[in-house]
Amino acid sequence: MDVITWTGELACHLQAAHRMTRDEFAGRLGVHPQTVAGWHAKPTVIPRPDMQAALDTLYEKATTPVRLRFAQLARPPEATTAQALRVAVAVVVRRGEVLLVQRRDGGPLDWQFPAGVVKPGGDPAAVAVRETRAETGVHCAVRQPLGSRVHPQTGVEAVYMFCDHLMGEPENLDPAENADALWAPIASLTRFIPADRIYAPILTALEAHA
């Protein structure tokens, strides 16, 4: 669990990451909207301990996309070049199919490949395997890295891993974040993800498995 000492500014960043109005954010925290207005007016204020706890709970329940947005908003300017936010993406294949998950937050990435945040010093290959198992129950092994890019929709660094299926059928094991998980025919992949959103080396690697 991340340890955060909340300030008014960080609380406002959490509100923005959830894409909530002031009233919606206050309702989720169980406080009066004027309390949230006070954080906007005084970004250096330190909320009371009970407010710190309420913010902790809301953050801990946040989906990965919300946490990514919060990390981007809360990152000090000097940290941008020191440690870019990275996610590991698993492209898992078996017999003409590729594993996909459907995100619940309705953001720009509806259907996508399983992915997880890579902490500083972490191994993207290990994260790709671990997050695939945690999200879908599918066990896989990395065959080869496919490269990385700054994702055009999320703005974070995405590191892609081409993986072989070992065992397991997809289940939605993370219902707070995902709505579904399935094997999609590689030949029909662009029905789930528009071709212009798919990293070109992925399409090249999948051609031999369609």
pLDDT tens-digit profile of 159-203?
Answer: 999 999 999 999 999 888 889 999 999 999 999 999 888 999 999
d(CA 141, CA 51): 43
φ, ψ of residue 70 to 5 degrees: the values are: -65, -45
Contacts of 166 (CB under 8 A, 6+ apart): 139, 140, 141
| Residue 169: closest CA among 179, 182, 159, 158 | 182
Fold for 82-207, please state it: Nucleoside Triphosphate Pyrophosphohydrolase (3.90.79)
Q: What amino acid is encoded at 159 in this protein?
A: V
So where are the chain's domains? Answer: 8-62, 82-207
Residue 127 structure tokens: 């994260």
pLDDT tens-digit profile of 50-70?
Answer: 999 999 999 998 888 888 888
Q: Tell whether pTM > 0.75.
A: no
SS3 assignment, position 114: coil
